[in-house]
Amino acid sequence: MNEIGLKELLYKMADDLLILGHRNSEWTGMGPLLEEDIAFSSMAQDKVGQSLALYTILHQLGEQDPDTVAFTRNAGQFHNCILVELPNQEYDFSLIRHFLFDMADALRWEMLTQSSYEPLSLLAKKVRGELRYHTLHATTWMKQLGSATETSIARLQQSLTTVTPFALAIFEESPYEKEIIESGVFEGEKVLMEKWKLKIADVISQTQLMLPDWKTITPMLGGRTGKHSEHLQPMLEEMSEVFRIDPTAEW
Amino acid sequence: MYGGGNTFEGVKTDSVAKEDLVKLAEFEARIARGEKIEPADWMPELYRKQLIRMIEQHGHSEIIGALPEGTWITRAPGFKRKMALMAKVQDEVGHAQLLYSAAETLGKSREQMIDDLITGKSKYSNIFNYPTFTWADCCFISWLVDAGAIVNQLANAKGSYGPYCRALERICAEESFHLKYGHHCVIYLAAGTTKQRQMFQEALNRWWPPMMHFFGPSDKISTHTEVLMRWKVKMGTNDEMRNQFLDMYVPKIRELGFTIPDPNLKKNTTTNKWEYTEPDWEEFKRVINGGGPCNKERLEVRRIAEERGKWVREALKSSTTAYVTPLA
């Protein structure tokens, strides 16, 4: 098995989940209704927990411990897609991001239950149950708000148009894609993206929203190789503000 | 936590005289026998009004209290703290949900309650009008403000209104985890580096006066409403609650080697009561009436959240369903 390729896969998944979990947690106390504060917090806890599980596997593969990895790297060392680091903005933006990302993430974990790398397939079998609730939450809201009022439909449509170029970059391929696929660790980003497009289209067809024509969209690539938007570094600085007071201290 | 269901405003009892005397006697007899009053039962107007006010303000304290702690979720040091704090603050928002439902059983909608919060018509726990400057402030809240709230809430859980008592029982069960979490955080600061110890000592210095205010004005200056005690709406005096808190937590704070910033704080072994420097009640009044360091900011954040979420709530409305009071 190609260990660099495996680590790259683990890092990008872990970083996606940590960063999006962090963003989801920013809805605490700010949601459009209390029930949404609570829902986004639950998903945040799941995602940060999943990222911890992945960093733990990486640690077993010789990387530094999860706290050091998560709280001391700078933006250039993160492998997450740009989508997850963007600020929460309005609820429609957060919902569309949640929908597009979690539909992909649920499929990814589902595929990974078949991974030849056992620590990952075992984790995937546990995590896919959590993802079921995340996608149930996302699709319920998409169907509700995507067919409700003129305002809600227009807002979701606008965000869908803004977010899709970033969402397509979830599937930015790794330089080790071929090895990862051949060794049976993961079926690869292309397969995942095709499955995702079908799932997305199925939900969108039950709303009054329109999916953009995929061929016209240029994916906002770069995140997987450490090229991020201006939003990631300040977020990481906030995240590590206390940790950095004394990284050797126990908190 | 957080607020613990206290109201410190004066109460007008005139309406009691207009109640049906037979029904009133029956109501009071039920309470005296330890029965719970349920939403559909007859109750005096003052009982209803006072409970709405109390439960609603408790609910408000939960969501406003989520703000000073919530700002530290994104800064919590390390996975363990980050995940625990997320879960803890989420619980508090869940408590607001439970409490608003309990208050709704008495006839006031959640929307109306939140409107009254934003316009300043109804209050919330004063302690959240102070800022959390450091991680240690956040730890102070998780441990000691929650501890204070538990003292209030355990007392109120023995009150007479069924839905409120049941909500409080669930809340107290979750609070006991918060208390453990908060205490754990403070133990790590206490056993940590000089800088960490100093951070908590400074937080203690900042938060001690608002913590003493937390239980409300001294019995010497607050108006006792005997009828609310008899109806088991108020379950103990402010000084009794404060004394209980001091009994339980002064030794724990000192055990960790911290100094409580009140040279007069000591237990009188004859009366078995704590003596302390009288808190500044003028400051308490000023803050409760909007003059605290964070009142404007807290309400502004809440107002913005409500405004930004309005279109979502509108989109959930259905023309075919009617408002239903929650079961509690």
Instruction: Kindly report the CATH number assigned to the domain that includes residue B56.
Output: 1.20.1260.10
Report whether pLDDT(B319) > 80. Answer: no
Whether residue B157 is contained in a domain is answered as yes
Of B24, B25, B28, the closest CA to residue B15 belongs to B24
Q: Taking residues A119-125, what's their average pLDDT?
A: 98
pLDDT in tens, A191-244: 999 999 999 999 999 999 999 999 999 999 999 999 999 999 999 999 999 999
> Following DSSP, what letter does each residue of B148-202 receive, concatenated?
HHHHHHHHHTTSSBHHHHHHHHHHHHHHHHHHHHHHHHHHHHHTS-HHHHHHHHH
Domain that holds residue B115: 14-307
Q: Confirm whether B144 is domain-assigned.
A: yes
At residue A188, the pLDDT reads 98
**A163 or B220, greater pLDDT:** A163
Q: What are phi and psi of B260, to 5 degrees?
A: -75, 130
Give DSSP secondary structure letters for B90-149.
HHHHHHHHHHHHHHHTTT--HHHHHHHHHTTSS---GGGGS---SHHHHHHIIIIIHHHH
Measure A98 CA to nearest chain B CA, in Å: 16
Residue A118 contacts B, CB cutoff 8 Å: no
Nearest to A34 among B67, B81, B97 (CB): B97
CA distance, residue A73 to nearest chain B CA (Å): 13
Mutate to test the interface with A, among B69, B82, B134, B181 (most CBs of A within 10 A): B82
Compute the distance between CA of residue B16 and CA of residue B227 in angstroms, rounded to an integer.
Answer: 9
Instruction: Give residues with Cβ within 8 angstroms of A220, minimum separation 6.
Output: A82, A83, A165, A166, A168, A169
A169 pLDDT above the threshold of 60: yes
Tell me the two tokens of residue B47.
């009982």
Query: Residues B309, B147: contact at Cβ < 8 Å?
Result: no
Banded pLDDT at B322 (limits 50, 70, 90)? confident
Partner B contacted by A238 (CB < 8 A): yes
The partner residues of B161 in beta bridges, in order of sequence, read B37
Return the pLDDT at A164.
Answer: 98
Domain assignment present for residue B323? The answer is no
Selected for mutation to probe chain A from B110, B312, B313 (highest A CB count within 10 Å) is B312
Using CA coordinates, name the residue in chain B closest to A26. B74
Collect all residues from B whose CB is shorter than 8 A from any CB in A: 63, 66-67, 70, 72-79, 81-83, 86-87, 89-90, 93-94, 96-97, 100, 135, 185, 188-189, 192-193, 195-196, 301, 305, 308-316
A239 touches chain B (CB under 8 A): yes
Domain presence at residue B5: no
With an 8 Å Cβ cutoff, are B93 and A29 in contact?
yes
- Check whether B6 has a pLDDT greater than 70: no
Instruction: List pLDDT tens digits, range B74-110.
Output: 999 999 999 999 999 999 999 999 999 999 999 999 9
Residues of B in contact with A30 (CB under 8 A): 301, 305, 308
Question: Does residue B257 lie within any of the structural domains?
Answer: yes
Alpha-carbon gap, residue B245 to B144, rounded angstroms = 9
Mean pLDDT across A132-147? 97
Of B78, B193, B305, the CB nearest to A243: B78
Task: Please name the member of A28, A30, A242 whose beta carbon is closest to the beta carbon of B77.
Answer: A242
pLDDT in tens, B48-76: 999 999 999 999 999 999 999 999 999 99
The residue-averaged pLDDT of B272-295 equals 94
Residue of B56, B80, B90 to mutate, interface with A, max A Cβ within 10 Å: B90
Task: Look up residue B292 and give its amino acid.
Answer: G
pLDDT at position B324: 78
- Interface residue A45 vs chain B (CB under 8 A): yes
CB contact under 8 A, A239 and B74: yes
Show Cβ contacts of residue A43 under 8 Å, excluding neighbours closer than 6 positions. A21, A24, A98, A102, A133, A134, A137
Record: fold of A3-245: Ferritin (1.20.1260)
Q: Nearest C-alpha of chain A: how many angstroms from B196?
A: 8
CA dihedral A119, A125, A127, A128 (to 10 degrees): 140
**Mutating which of A41, A46, A65, A89 best tests the B interface, going by the most B Cβ atoms within 10 A?**
A41
Is position B30 within any domain? yes
The model's pLDDT over A43-59, given as tens digits with 9 standing for 90+, comes to 999 999 999 999 999 99
**B137-B5-B259 Cα angle (round to 5):** 30
**Model ipTM?**
0.96
Listed by number, the residues of chain A in 62-81 with a beta carbon closer than 8 Å to a beta carbon of chain B are 66-67, 70-71
Length of chain A: 251
Between chains, do B63 and A243 touch, taking CB under 8 Å as contact?
A: no
Q: Based on the structure, what is the number of domains in chain B?
A: 1
Q: Report the range of poorest mean pLDDT among A54-63, B216-225, B303-312.
A: B216-225
Question: Rounded to a whole number, what is the distance in Å from the CA of B300 to chain A's nearest CA?
Answer: 11
Instruction: Suggest the residue from B61, B67, B86, B199 to mutate for an interface test with chain A (most A CBs closer than 10 A).
Output: B86
Helix (H, G, I), strand (E, B) or coil at B267: strand
Sort out which chain A residues have CB atoms less than 8 A from B135's CB and list them.
242, 251
How confident is the model at residue B224, as a pLDDT? 67
| Cβ(B209)–Cβ(B280) below 8 Å | yes
